[in-house]
Amino acid sequence: EALVKANPENETLAMNYAIELYNYIRSSDEAEKDTVIRTQAENALKNVLRINPEATTANLLMSQLYWTQLYDVQSQLDAVRGTTPAATAKKKELNAKMDGVFDAVYPYLMKSYNLYSKEATLKPQDKANYKIVLGQLTDYYNRKKQADKAAEMQAKAKAVQ
């Protein structure tokens, strides 16, 4: 962190720090729930994107950081049982929260999509990441009830060889 602060325009240092935080978060359930570390990782990735908005890895990791929040909200939603007014209100609250996370992740998914799709050839890891992005865009468009765009992303994912 000190190196990044001392070299605020060094994209490589900023990216390495962001990756380190991201990997730490993904290392355990406890780390995933640590809001302080999550905020640090988000800020570190935003810093990379401030330096270079076209940083494919930073856009991808930012989208994945938000995507894990969707899993958390979905788990909370799945845990709500019944049709009581309290359960209905909780479902409505969690659905609104999920919509907010989908809205937050969308720009990073689209940027990742645009960056990967303009490449003439993709390395195997980039193909795998591109398929993840396409799958998540399919989910996004399904959530937003845009079946035509969801089908387009699904078809593109199937075409990636």
Contact 133, 113 (CB under 8 A): yes
Note whether 31 and 21 are within 8 A (CB).
no
Q: Residue 43 has which token pair?
A: 């800020």
pLDDT digits (tens, 9 = 90+) for 51-73: 999 999 999 999 999 999 999 99
pLDDT per position as a tens digit, 61-117: 999 999 999 999 999 999 999 999 999 999 999 999 999 999 999 999 999 999 999
| Non-local CB neighbours of 102 within 8 Å, separated by 6+ positions | 70, 140, 143, 144
What's the pTM?
0.90
pLDDT reported for residue 11: 94
